[in-house]
Structure 1
Amino acid sequence: MSDVMNLNAVTPAFVDTLRAVLPAATFRDANASYLEEPRGRWQGQAAVVLAPASVDEVSVILKAAHEARVPVVPYGGGTGLVGGQIKPDGVAPILLSMERMTAVRACYPEENVLVVEAGAILEDIHNIAADHDRLFPMSIAAKGSARIGGCLATNAGGVNVLRYGNTRDLVLGLEVVLPDGQIWNGLSRLRKDNTGYDLRNLLVGSEGTLGVITAAALKLAPIPAGQGTAVMVVPSPAAALELLSLARSHMGEGISAFELIHRQGMAFIAEHLPDLRLPFEDFPEWCVLIDVGLARGLDPADALEALFEAAAEQELVSDGVIAQSEQQRRDLWEMREQIPEGNRRVGSVSSHDISLPLSHIAEFIEAGWQALAKVSDVRVNCFGHLGDGNLHFNVFPAEGKDRAEYTHLRDAIKTCVHDLVASYGGSVSAEHGIGRLKVDDLEKYGDPVKLALMRQIKDSLDPHGIMNPGAVLRAG
């Protein structure tokens, strides 16, 4: 087992050693912006904040940390929701920020490949791809501040997984600094390379526990010739799943996103983000947001209208809005992307990022509501990426109450939801990762053989346990 119990403090002498070999610009003030996580669950700590500008500087830092046995926490945009980017207790770490490594190293539009450093902001990557008439399809609500290195480290999902896959599916190669300072130069642009173990897929999703991703070769895609968006009112999640099946029969792989939205999400937006345009005055109990990208010569608005008509004949939809302009498309997506912000302003008691087999989703939602009603009087905002089985099943205080009144029930609520997820063969972490929040859950619900193999890999690559100790796997 890695020697994490013997991690050393970052001493002034150690910092002086780094100052002798790193530019002054590498050193940052350890202000609150680095030490807060979005949901306010933990307050982090840092003995020193370092922002290297090159892979060689990252290598110098990790080699020194490895030799001195001091902990290192990699830091991207700070948007992670499971506490993987902060270390609230124990030995204060080096906080290794990727904020200065933002370069575009190369773009190969003819290959649909973009090579960027880990600190590049996700939205900037979208814009760079668009400048080359290409699409980088991975998108999340925090795209304006999330950095690609963090997205890779957590294997983030987002709204386009249905068509393009998770972040893991959008990576061809990586450059990674290992815990002892070695640099793995794996920035391959090959789409076929069957030469041994797939280190790329091992590092993607490792949450900074096996090394630091410093650059990536990303897959781009052609921008669909015609893009369309609609919101359709459905009577139930079961009907939404039938609508998804019908949409696939109409448009095949042209469906980019299929998002389930409950009225509670719209109500939170109306209360806390009143300037945001919503498609309905009277919020429906359930609706779905459908985004399509079709080949040249096919009109997406016509295709969505044909889908609505076919679905109405089967009583799967009762109302809807089909975007007639790019501004209307943006407005509909803005509603979906601001649901997490509405949630944040209300303040959840317990948030759950879960995935389930598609055939069990409708039954789970009903069973989940009933089970929670037996625990306490709460509101549930259920929304998410229905096409890939990923739901956000978030629990909030009853109207007029504060979440502080439910603190003593948080563990019972989480256990209620996660036990139910496990009973349906689902996962308690669909796209946010394990971080520190779900270490207990991984141990409770995870396969013991898998956990043992994960520990062996961790001990092999990081024998001193310096990399993000306490994240994913319990420290000690």
Structure 2
Amino acid sequence: MTDHDTFLTAAQSLLGPRGFTADADLVTPWLTDWRGRFTGRALGLASPANTAEVAAFVRLCGEHGVPIVPQGGNSGMSGGATPDDSGEAVVLSLRRMDAIRTFDVEAQQITCEAGVILQTLHKLAETQRLRFPLTLGGKGSATVGGLISTNAGGTQVLRHGTMRAQVLGIEAVIADGSVFDALTPLKKDNRGFDLKQMLIGSEGTLGIVTAATLRLVPEIGGRAVLWAGLPSLAVARQLLLHCQATAGDTLEGFEVMPAHCLASVLDHLPDARSPLADNHAWHALIELVGDVTSADALPDLAERVLSSALEKGLLDDATIAANEAQAEAFWLLRDSVAPAERAIGPAMQHDISVPVATMADFVTAAAPQVETRFPGTTAVAFGHLGDGNVHFHVLAPPHAERGEWEQTQGKAISAYVHDLVTQWGGSISAEHGIGQMKRDELGRLGDPVALAMMRSVKHALDPSGLLNPGKLVPLAPDGTNP
């Protein structure tokens, strides 16, 4: 038997037929990332049923020197859950681990396993008049483990923060097969490094998240969803400040999109309608929420926000969703921007952030710079203006060939955009992670001291480099893996 044969026999014996397969028909669907940009090969697919099986499997991989690629819902945006093409690694799926371990309604906390789907978590919280305050377009497939591993964001970060802010405790299997158990939530704990925070956002390179204790918040008693037409992104920034001053903590979402994005969505969704009668250069989607004690005041607050903004010249026109169905229709327009753009043709998508106060200036300066340097392209920015994170997409010239364009001019465009973001003191990854797609760019642009610290931590916790190799952590200056 070859070493691979020995490992495969041992893996099948350890996890059983439900827990491990090398059948190509079953493994292949999980070897390509959600965007279709990365496809790899793997020895097999492991699907452990519990933390003990994860730990035992990690130990087995360590004994045989087999790399592990952890995977949740396989809905990541940066290729972080896709193996390379060597065929030497195994994909470790956490999807079978979907149990709710505890649900403390009074404490507003829930402990669940890594394979729990975000939408399932939302629905479960709702049964107890609570909610999990993080949502995103892929909520029907994204898992808790994947959200933690990438420190996911979404449309509620403005009020509630990223996934990092929702995690009260964590359980993870580290590279030697040991179980790091820090599920118990403590408001104050000064016993050295906050190790759970180090695991959050580490994309499976330091440990495999198997469970987490998450915070919940009271259900909303009502919401007001507003749509505003604006002359510029700079005015949108001023409108955001106005909403924060006028609405305070009731402001939960503030999303922006230019006219180009709205037009693309209206073409893409046959039954969609623009919320406003006239055309506007920019649009803002604003959501105010209230608990059961304040919900009745939301309609008056929404009217006051808009009327006072109009008096100050901060919007050209606006409307308030008349009912929940219209509110959902407004949000569908926002959530459909990415698929609408994909339908148009190739594009380079950049998940970037700069300081909130300078985002409008950045987009206003960067978009024409990109279009001038790469004739025929169209640069559009949309997303979470309130937390300084927009999705800066550069659409290919007409008739560009999908696949070829991304690998040629597209790469040069991304490097240029990342250079601009760095010059503005920003980040090349705001919420989608680094994965394999941006690893080399992080190595090129990242602070050398920070990169050296990352490599040191990686080497200390995973000296054999078996946990999600080739992801997140850039190569050392000599070209070696940490």
Global fold match (TM > 0.5): yes
Aligned mate of 1:352, from 347, 350, 353: 350
The aligned counterpart of 1:125 is: 121
C-alpha contact 2:371 2:379 (8 A) present in aligned 1: no
How far apart are the structure 2 equivalents of 1:440 and 1:21?
Answer: 36
C-alpha contact 1:179 1:210 (8 A) present in aligned 2: yes
TM superposition shift of 1:286: 0.5
CA 1:10 to 1:466, structure 2 compared with 1: closer, same or farther past 3 Å? farther
TM superposition shift of 1:400: 5.2
The aligned counterpart of 1:315 is: 313
C-alpha contact 1:255 1:293 (8 A) present in aligned 2: yes
TM superposition shift of 1:361: 1.3
Quote the RMSD (CA, aligned, Å).
1.7
How far apart are the structure 1 equivalents of 2:53 and 2:342?
Answer: 37
Q: How does 1:220-299 map to 2 (within 5 A)?
A: 220-280=216-276, 283-295=279-291, 296-297=293-294, 298-299=296-297
More displaced 10-residue stretch of structure 1: 124-133 or 290-299? 290-299
CA 1:10 to 1:325, structure 2 compared with 1: closer, same or farther past 3 Å? farther
How far apart are the structure 2 equivalents of 1:23 and 1:278?
Answer: 54
Aligned mate of 1:20, from 13, 17, 20: 13
**CA deviation string 1:153-181 (max 9, x = no partner):** 00001100110000000000001011111
TM superposition shift of 1:31: 3.6
C-alpha contact 2:254 2:287 (8 A) present in aligned 1: yes
How far apart are the structure 2 equivalents of 1:82 and 1:441?
Answer: 12
The one-letter amino acid paired with 1:305 is E
Q: How does 1:171-186 map to 2 (within 5 A)?
A: 171-186=167-182
How far apart are the structure 2 equivalents of 1:80 and 1:347?
Answer: 21
TM superposition shift of 1:281: 5.7
C-alpha contact 2:40 2:82 (8 A) present in aligned 1: yes
C-alpha contact 1:10 1:94 (8 A) present in aligned 2: no
- Are 1:338 and 2:336 matched, yes or no? yes
How far apart are the structure 2 equivalents of 1:198 and 1:458?
Answer: 16
TM superposition shift of 1:79: 0.7
The aligned counterpart of 1:68 is: 64
TM superposition shift of 1:402: 4.3
C-alpha contact 1:301 1:324 (8 A) present in aligned 2: no
How far apart are the structure 1 equivalents of 2:289 and 2:362?
Answer: 30
- Are 1:436 and 2:436 matched, yes or no? yes
3-state SS of paired residue (1:195): coil
3-state SS of paired residue (1:23): helix
C-alpha contact 1:234 1:316 (8 A) present in aligned 2: yes
The aligned counterpart of 1:387 is: 386
C-alpha contact 2:61 2:68 (8 A) present in aligned 1: yes
The aligned counterpart of 1:305 is: 303
TM superposition shift of 1:330: 1.2
Higher relative contact order (CA 8 A, sep 6+): 1
How far apart are the structure 2 equivalents of 1:72 and 1:110?
Answer: 38
The aligned counterpart of 2:422 is: 422
The aligned counterpart of 1:4 is: none
3-state SS of paired residue (2:349): coil
CA 1:347 to 1:65, structure 2 compared with 1: closer, same or farther past 3 Å? farther
3-state SS of paired residue (2:419): helix
How far apart are the structure 1 equivalents of 2:438 and 2:414?
Answer: 11
The aligned counterpart of 1:144 is: 140
C-alpha contact 1:174 1:217 (8 A) present in aligned 2: yes
TM superposition shift of 1:126: 0.6
The one-letter amino acid paired with 2:317 is D
Aligned mate of 2:48, from 43, 52, 75: 52
C-alpha contact 1:371 1:416 (8 A) present in aligned 2: no
C-alpha contact 2:69 2:467 (8 A) present in aligned 1: yes
More displaced 10-residue stretch of structure 1: 29-38 or 98-107? 29-38
3-state SS of paired residue (2:288): strand
The aligned counterpart of 2:413 is: 413
How far apart are the structure 2 equivalents of 1:35 and 1:282?
Answer: 46
3-state SS of paired residue (2:347): coil
TM superposition shift of 1:251: 1.2
3-state SS of paired residue (2:257): strand
TM superposition shift of 1:310: 0.7
TM superposition shift of 1:271: 2.4
TM superposition shift of 1:37: 1.4
The aligned counterpart of 2:39 is: 43
More displaced 10-residue stretch of structure 1: 347-356 or 115-124? 347-356
The aligned counterpart of 1:3 is: none
How far apart are the structure 2 equivalents of 1:75 and 1:277?
Answer: 38
TM superposition shift of 1:406: 3.4
The one-letter amino acid paired with 1:373 is E
TM superposition shift of 1:331: 1.2
The aligned counterpart of 2:208 is: 212
Gaps of 5+ in 1: 1-8
3-state SS of paired residue (1:106): strand
How far apart are the structure 2 equivalents of 1:272 and 1:224?
Answer: 31
C-alpha contact 1:44 1:88 (8 A) present in aligned 2: yes
C-alpha contact 1:63 1:181 (8 A) present in aligned 2: yes
3-state SS of paired residue (1:217): strand
C-alpha contact 1:50 1:94 (8 A) present in aligned 2: yes
CA 1:10 to 1:263, structure 2 compared with 1: closer, same or farther past 3 Å? farther
Aligned mate of 1:169, from 165, 171, 189: 165
TM superposition shift of 1:467: 0.3
The one-letter amino acid paired with 1:16 is T
TM superposition shift of 1:329: 1.4
Q: Could you state the TM-score of these two structures normalised by the residue count of structure 2?
A: 0.93
C-alpha contact 1:70 1:93 (8 A) present in aligned 2: yes
TM superposition shift of 1:192: 2.2
TM superposition shift of 1:367: 1.4
After TM superposition, the runs of 4+ consecutive aligned structure 1 residues lying more than 4 A away are: 399-405
How far apart are the structure 2 equivalents of 1:112 and 1:334?
Answer: 29
The aligned counterpart of 1:398 is: 397
3-state SS of paired residue (2:169): strand
C-alpha contact 1:71 1:91 (8 A) present in aligned 2: no
**CA deviation string 1:408-427 (max 9, x = no partner):** 21122112211111111111
TM superposition shift of 1:345: 2.5
Q: Could you state the TM-score of these two structures normalised by the residue count of structure 1?
A: 0.95
TM superposition shift of 1:318: 1.1
How far apart are the structure 1 equivalents of 2:279 and 2:439?
Answer: 37
TM superposition shift of 1:91: 4.5
The one-letter amino acid paired with 2:379 is V
